[in-house]
Structures are given as structure tokens and as C-alpha cells.
A and B are shown apart, each in its own frame.
Chain A
Amino acid sequence: MLKKNLDQLKLLIVIGILILVGQKVGFMVVDKEFSVAAALPGTILIIVVCLLSLMIKECLPNLKFPAFAWATMIGLILSMPFMPTAKAFLAYTNEVNFLSTTTPILAFAGISVGNKVQELKSMSWKIVLISLLVFTSTFFGSAIIAQIVLKLQGII
């Protein structure tokens, strides 16, 4: 294994720990049972898939397909109904709560934009207003078309 991959693995393990701690606390708050031991195999499986997606991305630099998308793709393939891996993979990874994986990401994300606050202050209020309209119209533009097509297809 390359040194880079080893470094990535170390960091992914830290992220795994952050997820498990977050899930423990989050479940405690709502009085739900959570055993770290039961979630450990799922966490390890997830970390292995993450590392794999980083390696695939590295091997195919011209494809411009982000590691995040590879991770989703591998997770998807392993859990399709007709795959022999589906039952076990889902049983283990379901022990890891979806929302618990999101909290560390956003904590890092918040910190990572910290040095852009000054730049942002120098930007005018106009760009804020425009951006908010950009976000809203991107969201509803897609939602309206999806609504029409799903209706035509009879799915909703």
C-alpha cells in the first residue's frame, strides 16, 4: 500500500471513531440502545469501501468522477437485491446511523471555510441576494420538472 493510502486510512479510522461517538451520544439523547461493538463491523466495512473508492479515483484520474461518487457506486452495487453480498452488507452497515455520518462532515466543513470570512465580508450584499435566488431557483426548477415527469409516469 502506498504511504498516501496509509495516511488516508488513518484519517478514515479517526472519522469512523467520530461517527461512532456521535451516534452513541445521539442515541443516548433519545434513549435508544446503541452498542459500539455491534456497529464496529459495519464501520470497518464502510472504511474499506471508502479506501477502495479513493484508490479507484487515483487509478482513473482522467474520468473526473469524484471519490464520493465512487463510494456511492460501490455501496450501491454491493447492496442491490440480486447481489449475493446484499444481505450481509446491509445488515452490518445498517448498524451505522445515516445522520451520524453527517455531523463530523459539517463540523469539518464549518471550520474549513473559516479563513474565507474576511473575503466574504468584502463581497457586496448583492452577491448574497443573487446567490440565494440562484439556490432557490436551481432547487425548484428541478423539483417542478421532476414533479411533472413523475406525474406523467404515474409514480406519484
Chain B
Amino acid sequence: MSKKELTENEIISMKGRLNVFIKLFITVLFIVIFSELIGVKKYSLGPGSVVLLPMLYAVIIGLIITPDILGKPLNFLRNLISNEEIELAGTMVMLALLPLGVKYGTLVGPNIVKVVQAGPAFLLQELGNLLTPVLALPLALLLGLRREAVGGTVSICREPTLGVIGERYGMNSPEGTGVLGTYMIGTVFGTIFFGLLGSFAVTSGLHPYALAMACGMGSGSMMTAASSSLSAAVSPEMKDTILAYAATSNMLTGVTGMYSVVFIALPFTNWYYTKLAPKFSKKGDK
């Protein structure tokens, strides 16, 4: 931590830092082998089923071996995974996502006709994101948050939203605190949450293809968690279409996400806030 910040180019350079790479890669190799050995598990829960995939074990194991959790009591873990390895892991996520991106492409490509036919649904479902402030802003105000609520509920708060809020209000503003809060919870628990929601959502009665489109929220790892567990929970012949829809929706969100926050979600949330906030303030003052 006290060492100088490395640039992105320096992080991926092995020169003089080979031990950091070796420690991280061996650790991940073991996590991968262990997670794959457990394999896919399917449990029925109430009216639906929950599908546990190797990636879910991998994210949990990866998290608990870090210095703040198991690394604290266990010395050898702290030596294995320190801040340097954690920093490299962050860059590795971005690179490791790419092969998955290619695989998604090969799922969309052969189904391109089907995807284009569903074009209107893809574009309009982006508007569904407005349900986020509609429901979450009142809760945030009820819990006593003020302007933090605007940042935290304007959208699912992935990187584009972080950028927009940071530029408009500054990261140290109340809005910045809010957006950072939801962003962090999403980063740490998002894949776990959507991995479970993806399979359980089938019980909502919504069609798996509609749910598939909803999986694309602008985060590669959340989309993967949601769509993989969704496709594992329904009949196998739907699998390819589900993954293709999810990947396409995610790609579109990548393109439109920032603009929909700037032009639609943020103005709406601000307007909604000015309407709602007075009702929630204790003495009726602003």
C-alpha cells in the first residue's frame, strides 16, 4: 500500500515481479481445480431451483482467502495473497473476461437472425432500468439517506454510471458516496446474488427469454452468473438462445448504458427526488 502506484502497463509486466504472477496463478489454478471438482449442483428450493456453478465457488473461495478474511489468522495465506497479488487479480479479471466474450460472440453469431428479429424488445427493455429508482429511491429515503440516494439508486451503478456521477458531482460528494456504495456491493456480491437470482427467477412466471434479456446489465461477470444459472435451470434446448440474448443485451447496454444514465435515468431520478424527498424529511423541511 505504501509503495508507489503502478500503471496498467507496469502491472502486467512480469519483469522483476515474476513471483507475484506465479503466486497468483498457482492460487487461481488450485481454486479452478477445486471448484470444478465440486461441479454443478442443482437443488430444488420452494417452487424453484437453485443452480450452483463452479464459478460461484470460485468467487467465494477467492474472496475468503484474501488478507482481510482468512489471511488475517493464517500467515501462509497472507504471504501468498497480498496487496500486490490482489492488484494484479483486478487486471486479470479484465483479460480473463475476453475468452468468455469470444464464446458469447459464437453464441450470438449463429443466432443472429433470431436476435435481430427480437430487436425491438432488446431496445425497449433498456427502459426497464427506470424501475430501479422508482422502487429503490423511496427505500433509500425511508432509511434516512438524502442525496446519497440519488447516486445509489439511479441505475445498477456499474462503471459507466460511476463515471457519469463522478464527473457531474465529484466522487467525494454525497451522490458519489451513494453510487460507490452500490458499485462496491455489486462488485463483491453481484455475481453471487445474480447467480442465485438467475435460476430462481424462473418461478416468477416470466418467460426464460425475457429473463435472458434482463441478464445483460452492463457487467460481464454478473451477466455470466445470471445467464448461466438461468440456462442451467430451464430445458436444455433453450440454452443457446438464452445465452445469445443475454450476451446481446449486455453488449447493447455497454453501448447505450452511459447515454441512458445521462439523458434519462439521472434527470428522472433527480426529478423524482425533488418530489419525494420533502415527504420523507422529518420536519417537512428540505
Interfacial residues, chain A to chain B (CB-CB below 8 A)? 3-4, 7-8, 10-12, 14-16, 18-19, 21-23, 25-26, 29-30, 46-47, 49-50, 53-54, 64-81, 83, 86, 89-90, 93-94, 96, 98-120, 123, 126-147, 149-151, 153, 155-156
Contacts and interface: CB of A to CB of B under 8 A. Distances in A.
B131 A137 contact: yes
B145 to A, nearest CB: 7
Contacts of B262: none
Contact of B33 (A21, A53, A66, A101): A21
B77 to A, nearest CB: 11
Nearest to A118: B68
B210 A53 contact: no
Contact of A116 (B98, B101, B188, B221): B188
Contacts of A131: 152, 181-182, 185-186, 189
A5 B62 CA distance: 27
B106 A94 contact: yes
B125 A146 contact: yes
Contacts of A26: 36, 39, 54
B95 A140 contact: no
Given A98-B107, A102-B53, 13 more contacts: A8-B12, A11-B12, A12-B99, A16-B99, A26-B39, A64-B258, A71-B102, A80-B112, A103-B58, A106-B56, A117-B63, A141-B128, A150-B118
Nearest to A81: B110
B94 interface: yes
Given A107-B59, A143-B211, A149 B121 contact: yes
Interface residues of B, number: 127
A138 B98 contact: no
Interface of B: 9, 12-14, 24-25, 27-29, 31-33, 35-37, 39-40, 53-56, 58-69, 71, 81, 83, 85-86, 89-90, 92-110, 112-113, 117-118, 120-122, 124-132, 134-136, 139-140, 143-145, 149, 152-153, 155-157, 178, 181-182, 184-191, 193-194, 197, 201, 204, 206-207, 209-211, 213-215, 217, 220-221, 224-226, 228, 243, 247, 249, 251, 254-255, 258
B160 to A, nearest CB: 8
Main secondary structure of the interface of A (DSSP, over half): helix
Nearest to B160: A64
A150 B115 CA distance: 11
Contacts of B113: 81
A8 B14 CA distance: 10
Contacts of A25: 32-33, 36-37
Contacts of A99: 40, 53-55, 228
B186 A147 contact: no
B64, B132, B243: residue with the most chain A Cβ atoms closer than 10 Å: B132
A151 to B, nearest CB: 8
Contact of B120 (A86, A105, A120, A153): A153
Contact of A106 (B181, B189, B221): B221
